């Protein structure tokens, strides 16, 4: 049974991604990264991100749907009006020693900068939690850069607990990635509603 939520839709609907969404998603993906990781990743690396390569990435995965992979976008009624996206599925990148603990993973969740703070990220998290629970992929985890404090605050608001970290090189810089654990998908809706009273959240 789906977890109920009253987070405002603001005229956007969550729907499966389609191959024809790839151009808009490629542009959004690059724009979100440049905004979110400014001051965290090297300026040259962010400037060099390719919308064409991101478009090709999206076209490939959206052309190959899989029953155990969630690929959704946050779309408006206007053609090409996409404000966010989420990818989830079986765990691909588990925290050390967690092989028997996690059954699912959120691979990516991004919201356009101008639509952050309107509850859209919470809507996508509740949607993903429902889907992961129905697919028996809970508990689940996700990774977030340690320096991305805005994203970390958002996931902690929804009950995520940091359980592991690792270092990796991105754009020539050594960065710390943190794994967040979500044990109870049902609690995410309750926390999302509570978080809706706070400003500056996704």
Give every CB contact of residue 114 below 8 A, 6+ residues apart in sequence: none
Which of 57-66, 70-79, 85-94, 193-202 is the most confident on average? 57-66
How many domains are contained in the chain?
Answer: 1
Q: Which residue has the tokens 């490629």?
A: 26
Distance separating alpha carbons of residues 136 and 91, to the nearest angstrom: 12
> Residue 23: left (phi > 0), alpha (psi -120 to 50), or beta?
alpha
Q: What's the Cα-to-Cα distance from 6 to each of 124, 193, 202, rounded to whole Å?
A: 13, 7, 15
| Selected residue with higher pLDDT from 186 and 87 | 87
Q: What token pair was written down for 109?
A: 């969740």
Q: What is the pLDDT of residues 80-118, one digit of tens each?
A: 589 999 999 999 866 666 555 788 999 999 999 999 988
Look up the domain containing 136 and give its range.
12-195
- CATH assignment at residue 97: 3.40.630.30
pTM of the model: 0.87
Q: What is the DSSP string of 70-122?
A: EEEEEEESSTT-EEEEEEEES-SSPPTT-TTT--EEEEEEEE-GGGTTSSHHH
Residue 49 lies in a domain: yes
Distance, CA of 124 to chain centre: 8
- Whether 76 is in a domain gets the answer yes
Q: Is 6 contained in some domain?
A: no
Half-sphere CA count of 121, side-chain side, radius 13 A: 28
**Cβ proximity of 3 and 189 under 8 Å:** yes
Examine residue 3 and state whether it is found in any structural domain, yes or no.
no
């Amino acid at each position: 049974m789906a977890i109920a939520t009253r987070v405002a839709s603001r005229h956007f609907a969550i729907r499966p991604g389609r191959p024809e969404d790839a151009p808009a998603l490629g542009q959004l993906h690059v724009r979100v990264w440049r905004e979110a990781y400014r001051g965290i990743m090297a300026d040259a690396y962010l400037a060099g991100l390719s919308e064409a390569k991101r478009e090709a990435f999206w076209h490939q995965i959206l052309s190959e749907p899989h029953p155990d992979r969630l690929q959704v976008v946050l779309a408006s009624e206007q053609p090409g009006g996409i404000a966010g996206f989420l990818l989830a599925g079986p765990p691909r990148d588990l925290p050390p020693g967690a092989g028997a603990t996690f059954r699912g993973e959120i691979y990516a969740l991004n919201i356009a900068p101008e639509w952050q703070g309107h509850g859209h990220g919470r809507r996508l998290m509740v949607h993903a939690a429902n889907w992961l629970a129905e697919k028996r992929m809970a508990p689940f985890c996700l990774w977030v850069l340690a320096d991305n404090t805005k994203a970390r605050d958002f996931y902690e608001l929804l009950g995520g607990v940091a359980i592991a970290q690792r270092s990796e090189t991105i754009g020539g810089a050594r960065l710390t990635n943190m794994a967040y654990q979500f044990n109870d998908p049902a609690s995410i809706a309750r926390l999302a509603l509570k978080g809706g009273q706070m400003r500056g959240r996704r």
